[in-house]
C-alpha cells in the first residue's frame, strides 16, 4: 500500500556559479542600510506531496525529479527532506 510523503526541496546555485540576483539583492539591502550583509545567494524552494511504497522509493523519485526538471545539475545543487504524512493529516 502506498504511503503519502511530504517533501521540501531546496535548490541552490553551485558555489562556483555567479549569482547576479543575489548580488542585486545584496546591493538593495546595502542601500536600505543593511551594510553588514556580506553575500546573498538566491535559490528555489519547492514543497510537494507524493505517493510511494516506502520512504526510500519516495527519495528515489525525488532524485529523478530534481535531476530531470526541478534543478539544473550543471549549475545547481539540491537537497530535500521527506516525511511521511500522518494518516489523520491526509483527510
C-alpha to C-alpha distance for 72 and 90, rounded to whole angstroms: 32
Nearest to 62, CA basis, from 83, 84, 80:
80
C-alpha to C-alpha distance for 66 and 43, rounded to whole angstroms: 14
- 3-class SS letters over 47-63: EEEEEECCHHHHHHHHH
Cell numbers at 65, concatenated: 525529479
C-alpha to C-alpha distance for 63 and 78, rounded to whole angstroms: 9
Q: Which domains does the chain have, with CATH numbers?
A: 3-90 (3.30.1280.10)
C-alpha to C-alpha distance for 73 and 77, rounded to whole angstroms: 6
Per-residue model confidence as pLDDT tens for the chain (91 residues): 899 999 999 999 999 999 999 999 999 999 999 999 999 999 999 999 999 999 999 999 999 999 999 999 999 999 999 999 987 655 4
Q: Report the predicted TM-score, pTM, of the whole model to 2 decimal places.
A: 0.87
Amino acid at each position: 500500500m502506498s504511503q503519502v510523503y511530504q517533501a521540501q526541496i531546496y535548490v541552490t546555485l553551485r558555489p562556483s556559479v555567479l549569482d547576479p540576483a543575489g548580488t542585486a539583492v545584496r546591493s538593495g539591502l546595502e542601500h536600505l542600510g543593511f551594510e553588514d550583509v556580506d553575500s546573498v545567494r538566491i535559490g528555489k524552494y519547492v514543497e510537494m506531496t507524493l505517493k510511494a511504497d516506502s520512504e526510500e522509493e519516495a527519495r528515489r523519485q525525488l532524485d529523478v525529479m530534481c535531476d530531470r526538471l526541478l534543478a539544473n545539475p550543471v549549475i545547481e545543487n539540491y537537497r530535500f527532506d521527506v516525511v511521511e504524512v500522518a494518516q489523520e493529516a491526509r483527510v
